Structure 1
């Protein structure tokens, strides 16, 4: 039986391609302050972007919560019942439509040899990898992957746990390196006219919110994100525009 969803809707062309909802920020009687993960970082990103007068409540896209009926548009009931949080590699292990490129500290991730088989392009890094080597590999392998496949859309998992000092990442990338990494990925997509969706993902230091905001501002200053222009597909409403599109960009904070 087909399932109906009202999860998607049209957005004004003046909206910036930034999706956010205040419910992203987790609070529980102040106990969240004791957790190493900054559970309110997404609200802080929005605050910083407002301080820079880049966004207002009126020109960003408010996220809608997906119900079970929404999820059943693309997933089976059996899939939802079995979902155990094993990550996207396991989810797409045998799906030839999905090409996964992953850059990671090889000493700590992924600790799942079975799921690792799903990664089509593995970029393995050592402890303490710094900006120069990291950015060189980002550019090299982004171009290599996109020369190998021609995706309809790129989902870019832009974690900040690569930041120097992160308790889990084990790399030594500077704030500037993270900003530059995002720019390189967006430029690779733009050159090929491929729509891109960036999710801000993990990062376990309090200063990551400022870095994410700086990266979004840089993407805007570089002309890589902005309101929909005449003749361009809207990433907020049509993130799977075909290969012939002009390369829409959407940031989900």
Structure 2
């Protein structure tokens, strides 16, 4: 798989301090789309990955579908790099990373008990390395979003992992890492908003940013399912708790109201949008009853905010007067957006082929 080349780069943060050298803030040629992926994202090992309802090969399915639709080619995808230990230590504690050297710990985090019986070098290679590569992809997408106005990491979005604790198939805190990298290394990025629409509470990034006034969190989730983290909820500025079987009308009304409120309440320098189609009726984990039609063609209107979704999932275009999902197609055009300094990065697509891919954008490009 030949993908866009990378030029290694390193820069000082806005305070003049020298951060550790990293390859994750590479210079990406403009011929590449700001879409980050690597075949190593996909986890396959003796069928053990099938012991969890989470589809650990969905990222490759997404890319394969988009290639078949002639939306992407190998040559215009940015190839993700694995996050190094130095990269991870920007957020994670050394003791937590050391605990991941025990297979029983990884088995608990991924909820795949047989992993505890495997030598850790195999667990590192077949499970944790893919997750580290996805984590690197999220950090790269953060920088790309600043440079281009929008970016995607096809994987990542490990919103249950905090600096010192993993869970729910999330071993690395990629959302926290992406934001911390930007705060430390990119001048003008000092405020962030996380919009988390996965059906599960994003307790990892919430714990990490509990006392950080620079980060605004909106989280929409089923209150009755994992992780039910009462302490982490204290970090949520816009908390939208849903009940079992929440259906379209109630979901649309609540999300529309709080989207509008979030956009009116804060003006961040970066937005991390964590998507999740585990909200769909029949999802084995989400416990909600949202119809596929909502993702196909239902507009979300109200107070100057409109949201539309498409079958293969969606480019999210956010402007001062609208938030819209557009079906990926084959051409880009220049567009006017919220403001020149605002950017957004997508960190997770959560459910296989139905949604496929989500773009997040504030300026520069949109898909038509």
Whether TM exceeds 0.5 here: the answer is: yes
Q: Which residue of the partner structure matches residue 235 of structure 1? A: none
Which of residues 11, 18, 24 in structure 2 aligns to 1:7? 24
Aligned residues: 217
| CA deviations over 1:159-183 (Å, ceiling 9, x no partner) | 1211111122111122342464676
- Alignment partner of 1:198 is 2:357: no
Contact 1:103 1:122 survives alignment (8 Å):
yes
Contact 2:349 2:355 in 1 (8 A): no
Unaligned ranges ≥5, structure 2: 1-17, 98-162, 167-202, 297-307, 324-335
Report the alpha carbon displacement of residue 102 of structure 1 after superposing the two structures with TM: 0.2
Kindly report which structure 2 residues correspond to 1:1-253, keeping only aligned pairs within 5 A, or say none: 2-72=19-89, 74-75=90-91, 77=93, 83-85=164-166, 87-108=204-225, 110-178=227-295, 180=308, 186-187=317-318, 188=322, 191-193=337-339, 194-202=342-350, 208-213=351-356, 216=358, 246=363
Residues 277 and 349 of structure 2 are in contact (CA less than 8 Å); yes or no, is this contact kept in structure 1? yes
Matched position secondary structure for 2:40: helix
How far is 1:20 from its partner?
A: 0.6
Give the whole-Å Cα distance in 2 for the aligned partners of 1:160 and 1:78: 33
CA RMSD of aligned residues (A): 2.8
Unaligned runs of 5+ in 1: 203-207, 226-244
Measure the CA separation in 2 of the matches of 1:128 and 1:25. 31
Distance 1:247 1:110 in 2: 37
Work out whether residues 138 and 184 of structure 1, in 8 Å CA contact, stay in contact via their aligned partners in 2.
no
Query: CA, structure 1 residues 80+31, in 2 after alignment: closer, same or farther (shift >3 Å)?
Result: closer
- 8 Å Cα contact 1:158-1:199 kept in structure 2: yes
- Structure with the bigger percentage of strand: 2
Q: How far is 1:185 from its partner?
A: 5.5
**What is the distance in 2 between the residues matched to 1:136 and 1:79?**
43
